[in-house]
């Protein structure tokens, strides 16, 4: 998997779509899933660093939980895998 396309309802623009990269690392714990943030202009989620034994379903579940914790799940329209 290369990434995930996320579509949001945006109050300013009406509709917003962006990509979250999935970065598979082999020199980390095989079961790890951790967020990677942009440093500029804001501290937003830009990618997810995963270990080698993490599956697509676990990545999607992690992203859904991340949006629930951030209070953004009610604005999410869809989350699609990019293969």
pLDDT, residue 81, reads 86
Helix (H), strand (E) at residue 48: strand 45-50
Q: 35 near 10, Cβ under 8 Å?
A: no
Predicted confidence (pLDDT) per residue in 13-69, tens digit = 788 888 999 999 999 999 999 999 988 777 688 899 999 999 999 999 999 999 999
Sequence spans of domains, the chain: 3-82
Q: How many residues does the chain have?
A: 83
Question: What gap in Å lies between CA 36 and CA 44, rounded to an integer?
Answer: 9
pLDDT-derived band at 10 (thresholds 50, 70, 90) equals confident
Q: 21 near 3, Cβ under 8 Å?
A: yes
For the purposes of burial, counting CB atoms within 10 Å of the CB of 12, is it exposed (0-12), middle (13-18) or buried (19 or more)? exposed
Predicted confidence (pLDDT) per residue in 69-83, tens digit = 988 889 999 999 887
């Amino acid at each position: 998997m290369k990434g995930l396309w996320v579509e949001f309802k945006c109050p300013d623009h009406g509709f917003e779509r962006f990509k979250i990269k999935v970065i598979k690392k082999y020199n980390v714990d095989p079961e790890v899933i951790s967020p990677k943030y942009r440093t500029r202009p804001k501290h937003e989620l830009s990618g997810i660093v995963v270990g080698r034994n993490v599956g697509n379903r676990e990545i999607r579940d992690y992203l859904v939980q991340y949006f629930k914790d951030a209070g953004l799940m009610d604005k999410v329209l869809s989350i699609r895998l990019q293969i």
